[in-house]
Each structure stands twice: as structure tokens, then as C-alpha cells.
Chain A
Amino acid sequence: MNNRLSVQIGEVTLKNPLLTASGTFGFAREYSELFDVSLLGGIVVKGLTLQPKEGNPPPRIAETPSGLLNAIGLQNPGVRRFVAEELPALRRIGTAVIANIAGSTLEEFAEIAKILEAETGITALELNISCPNVRQGGMAFGVHPESAAKVTEVVKKHTTLPVWVKLSPNVTDITEIAKAVEEAGADAITLINTLLGMAIDLEKRRPVLGNIFGGLSGPAVKPVALRMVWQVYEAVKIPIIGMGGIISARDVLEFIMAGASAVAIGTGLFAQPLAPVGILRELEEFLIKEDVAQITELTGVAHNFSTR
């Protein structure tokens, strides 16, 4: 692969800026049957909790105009089974592996970080303080600057891995949270998680989702996500991993020009399972056509226009 696409997230080098969003790619097993997942810049695994988690009662998903509501509820085998059963295969893929972790308490975040600290083959931790679909922890940590900073600080104390913090869009001012986690030592910021939403089943006269509320993702949220990447880029110095509705190379470039150093595709995979393959090819073509030596040169370039 040409290094035109390689990017730097703090001390981490990724071979290209395209990651998979947590919760949309499992532990890479399934999509490995469809395409060569080592092409990806990295794989962000399904959110890991300390104990195995069963998740929410179905229905868990609802399709909306150009979007998807989900209320999976962090179903996962727990961090220990992840280490025993999933990590060995992930290590062999040959791309960055980012462990998304979700504690319901500060102690749980610390415990999960400690367990993963003992393992090789993990590139970074992504702190999930923005899941809208669980009762404890989840988004509660991510909607106040103080608690977001506290989680970051605690995890940083228990790991030598870079710590990325995934922010919720369900806040009044995302830049406040971004600044707080930067100050607390976050190495990068990931945004956005899903937007809280719902759908009603007219025939049954009840909410579609078993959990009543769910998180909205997909192309429908892209403008909101882009706006937030833009705002956070102006508020912090640490790198941003942008996501929300990415399905094409043009979407990726929009996020990068708004200020992202890397991006993730999530729901877009469900609409186009082979999208990553085409996106990487088209990014390369775009750089050649526009005579850009490194994709990193494009990060935040759209801001130059606004200040002119």
C-alpha cells in the first residue's frame, strides 16, 4: 500500500485513515469472510465490558430515512473472553486493533484497562462514555465535562496504551467535553457516537425498539457529525477520529477537511459491505488527481477558508 494514505494519531501510525466504528464490525470475524480486512487502517472492536453483557431485548433496530436506530445494549462476551477468544485472531490480521471499552463505574473502566494492559496486539483504547443504550455508565459519563475527564484520568493511570475518548453528540456543547478530556490526558478524540432517537410502530401503537430509545446513525447524521468535528477541531489540539454517516470517499474527505485525522465507517457497511475497498481506492485516486502528497495535509483545510 502506498504511504500517501498513512496517518498519525499521536504516537500511533495507521496505514490509512479508515477505521471501522465500534459495534458495527464485531471482532472482524464476519466481514473477514467478505473482504481483506487487513486493508483497513484499523479495527475498532465491539464495546467491551468487564462482565459479559446480554444486551437489550429485541427489536433492537429500526430503519429510518437514510439512517438506522439501534439499541443493542452493548451485548459482548466480556473483556476476558475477548482476550482469550477474539484477540489472537485480531492480532494476526495485520492492522491496528483498537479496543473499545465501556465500564459502568470508574473502577470497572480501570479494571478493564488493567486486563488489556497485560496483552500485546492492542494499538489503543477507545473509551466508550457515550453509549445511549445502557442504564448504567454509558452516556452518563460523557455528558458532563467533569465525569468525562475523570474517566479519562483513571484509565490513563492504568494503561500505557494511547487513550482515545469517544464523545456523545447528545450534549449542549461538545467542545466543553472535548477540552475536558484533552486536559485529562486523552491522546485523541473520537466522535460522534449515535444521536438519541426513537421510532413508533403505528399498528402496535408502541415504540419500535424494545429499549424505547436508540441511537441514530447512518448518512442522516452526517451533517451533525461534521459540524461537531469542525467545532472540536477548533477547540482542541489532539487528533480527531471523525465518524457519522460515512459511506463514500467523498464523505471521508469531508470529515478530514473539517478536521479529522482519521475516520470510521460503521452503518455504511450495512448498506455497502464492500465500501471500505472502494473508499481506499478512491481516496488514493483523489490524492493523485489533486496532487496531494499526504492525506494528512488535508486535515482541517476547510478551516482556512472560514478565517480568510
Chain B
Amino acid sequence: MVKFQALVINQTRLGEELFHLELSTPIVHRSPALPGQFIHIYCRESGTEPLLPRPLSLFRIHPRITAAGPEASTPEIWEILYKKVGKGTAWLSRRKAKDVLEVLGPLGRGFSLPQEAAGKSGRVLLIAGGIGMPPLFALGEELSRRGREVILFYGGRSKQDLLFLQEWRDLASQVYLTTEDGSIGRSGLVTDLLREKVQPQSADFYYACGPRPMLQAVQDLMNRLAIPGELSLEERMACGVGACLGCVTRTRHGYKRVCREGPVFPADEVILDE
């Protein structure tokens, strides 16, 4: 992790409260960001309000292109999708191209990318709930680069919540959508459709990110189907580097820091029912 200044390349409003931000990260000595990792953006006009940085996961990671040695490499480009929910993200939503942002990252442990095993299907399930989708897209791109077959289950309240569907269709072999109001895809919760469509042989592995009740239902279902997987968690966070112990989550091995040992955890390790 490094504290540095990132340059806003572009920011677009996608919906009522949804924004798409592209950042250039001109740090050559930093290790590349991995799908599932997150960054802290210090969303502060001036003074001390709001005090804490906003943790945001990476939606797309465009590797830097090294032409001839590190001097000639281009910056890594990070894309972020976020929902405007408070003062910090409202400030962020007003940033424009060429603005400079104070950034710390990449932070935390991202998704693990399991090796292809003989006799396995090679298929991977990605299960996204609402604004939990972004890190799974970065992961999906990496998995498809590695030749894995990706199947997407994506749920939201309404049609406007389901983002980048064309890109997802290009990436995944099958795309299952659900909305609570039925405005697109199946009406209901993503876990209902999952229960109906997925069998023990459907996939080797799964990755999920979304609201806690969804993750709990997914964890439970997948456990019964004996499909292993990983969950990306969210928790209120302060330092982001692992020093303050503010963002812990309960696991089978005691409390673990979401910002350090997470945000991605093995699904069989986390205890969500509290």
C-alpha cells in the first residue's frame, strides 16, 4: 500500500445516485492492484470534515503497459463504481477530470484465483447483490483472461441498480438477473434464483459480494451444495491499514480485520449470523 495522489480521468453519473469514476495512478513502484482489493479516498474539501476516508472497491483494473523498462510504463488505471450515500461520496461525485485525489491503496486481501484442477468443470459462479457488484467485475475479467467460464447471478432492487449488463454478457457464459420489483430479470431475490438453478456440479467455486443477509443466504446454500467459495465483506472502517482494529468481523478463528485479512474471506471461515 502507498499513499499517493491519483488523477481523475473521467467521472460519469450512471443513475440517480450511482457514479463511475476513472483514476490514473501514477505510481510506478507500487505493486499492481488485485481484484477484490479496495482503496481509501480522502473525500475532504478542507479541514476535518468528513474525517475518515471512504473505502471503495475496484471495479476494473487496467494493468500498466510496460514498453521498455519501468520508466516507460504507463500508469495503472482504476475504475470505481459507487453510490452517493453521504457527505463524503457527495463530495467525490463532484470531482471532475484533472482533479487530484488523495488515495491510499491498494488495501486488503483480494480474491484468490484457484488453479484449474483435473476433473473439474472449470466453471465459476459470481454472485452479486446491488452495489456489491464492482469487485466481482474486476474478478470476472481476470477469470476470463485465465480462460475460466464465468456464470453471473446479479440481483438488485430495480433495473437501474443492475449496471454494465452488456459488459457482463460479453464476459459471462450465462447471466441470471433478478430485481425485487421485477423491472428486469426474474422478480425476487438473487438467492431464490440461485437456489433454483445451481446444483452441486454447476461450478467448482463461487465468489459473492453484497448485503450481509444475501451473503448469509448464499453461504448457507453453497455450503449445502458443497461448493467452496469466497465472500467479500463490508464493515465500518477507520484506518484501513490494520492498525485500529475497528473493522473486525467474526470468523472461526476469532475476530479478523476486514481491511487486512479481508475484505475477501474464505466462505467457510466467516460467521455472519449475529
Contact B239 A24 (CB under 8 A): yes
Interface residues of B in 38-62 (CB under 8 A from A): 42, 44, 47-53
Expressed in whole angstroms, the Cα–Cα distance for A238 and B53 within the complex equals: 37
Expressed in whole angstroms, the Cα–Cα distance for A272 and B52 within the complex equals: 9
Does B67 belong to the interface (CB within 8 Å)? no
Interface flags, B235-274, vs A, CB<8A=1, else 0? 1111111111111111000110000100000000000001
B240 / chain A contacts, CB cutoff of 8 Å: 270
Expressed in whole angstroms, the Cα–Cα distance for A219 and B50 within the complex equals: 11
Contact B255 A75 (CB under 8 A): yes
User: Assuming the A-B contacts A62-B236, A66-B49, are A271 and B42 also in contact, with contact meaning beta carbons closer than 8 angstroms in the complex?
Assistant: yes
Interface residues on B, range: 20 to 34
Does A197 belong to the interface (CB within 8 Å)? no
Contact B244 A218 (CB under 8 A): no
Does A33 belong to the interface (CB within 8 Å)? yes
User: Measured between C-beta atoms, what is the minimum distance from A267 to chain B in Å?
Assistant: 7
Contact B243 A61 (CB under 8 A): no
Does A63 belong to the interface (CB within 8 Å)? yes
Contact A218 B239 (CB under 8 A): no
Contact A34 B51 (CB under 8 A): no
User: Measured between C-beta atoms, what is the minimum distance from B202 to chain A in Å?
Assistant: 33
Contact B255 A30 (CB under 8 A): no
Does A150 belong to the interface (CB within 8 Å)? no
Contact B247 A218 (CB under 8 A): no
User: Assuming the A-B contacts A31-B243, A34-B1, A54-B255, are A271 and B52 also in contact, with contact meaning beta carbons closer than 8 angstroms in the complex?
Assistant: yes
Contact among B3, B51, B248, B274 for A66, CB-based, below 8 A: B51
A58 / chain B contacts, CB cutoff of 8 Å: 235-236, 247-250, 255
Contact B236 A59 (CB under 8 A): yes
Interface residues on A, range: 35 or more
Interface flags, B143-178, vs A, CB<8A=1, else 0? 000000000000000000000000000000000000
Does A144 belong to the interface (CB within 8 Å)? no
Contact B51 A23 (CB under 8 A): no
Expressed in whole angstroms, the Cα–Cα distance for A66 and B237 within the complex equals: 15
Does B104 belong to the interface (CB within 8 Å)? yes
User: Measured between C-beta atoms, what is the minimum distance from B160 to chain A in Å?
Assistant: 21
B interface residues (Cβ-Cβ under 8 A, vs A)? 1-3, 42, 44, 47-53, 104, 235-250, 254-255, 260, 274
Nearest 5 CB-CB pairs, A to B? A61-B246, A26-B243, A30-B241, A219-B48, A66-B48
19 further A-B pairs in the complex, CB-CB below 8 A; given A26-B244, A30-B260? A24-B239, A24-B243, A29-B242, A34-B241, A46-B245, A55-B245, A58-B235, A58-B247, A58-B249, A59-B235, A61-B236, A63-B236, A68-B51, A68-B238, A70-B238, A70-B246, A218-B48, A267-B238, A272-B42
A interface residues (Cβ-Cβ under 8 A, vs B)? 23-26, 29-31, 33-34, 46, 54-55, 57-63, 65-68, 70, 72, 75, 218-219, 247, 267, 269-274
A-B contact pairs, 28 of them (CB 8 A): A23-B245, A24-B239, A33-B1, A34-B1, A34-B3, A34-B104, A34-B241, A54-B255, A57-B274, A58-B236, A59-B235, A60-B246, A60-B247, A61-B244, A61-B246, A61-B247, A63-B52, A66-B48, A66-B49, A66-B51, A219-B48, A270-B51, A270-B53, A270-B240, A270-B244, A271-B51, A273-B3, A273-B239
